[in-house]
Amino acid sequence: MRTTIHIDDSLLAELKGIAARTGRTLTAVINDALRDSLSRRRNAKRPPVKLQVFHGTGIMPGVDLSDSDSLLEIMEKHEGPS
């Protein structure tokens, strides 16, 4: 869509420099900058995530966190009440 906006001269110079260095059009650089700004605003409005914390003595002896198959096997053995 075509529209007219007023951009600060120093900001426009910076945008044109980015476009020239990256080989993209000024329109593409401006669109990407606006998308990024809007995305950050949307994400900033999200409520904080509350993580459930469990207390314990740490990793069980013999548990290798990089071995997903053995982790699954251990979790199935030690599955608590449903």
pLDDT (tens digit per residue) in 26-38: 999 999 999 999 9
Residue 51 has pLDDT above 90, yes or no: no
CB 35 within 8 A of CB 46: no
Q: Where are the domains of the chain?
A: 9-44
Write the CB contacts of 19 (distance below 8 Å, at least 6 apart in sequence): 25, 26, 28, 29
**pLDDT score recorded for residue 80:** 59
Which is more confidently placed, 13 or 54?
13
Which residue's entry shows tokens 């900001």?
A: 11
Q: How far apart are CA 42 and CA 23, in angstroms?
A: 29
The answer to whether residue 82 scores a pLDDT higher than 60 is: no
pLDDT at 2: 87
Tell me what percent of the residues of the chain surpass a pLDDT of 70: 94
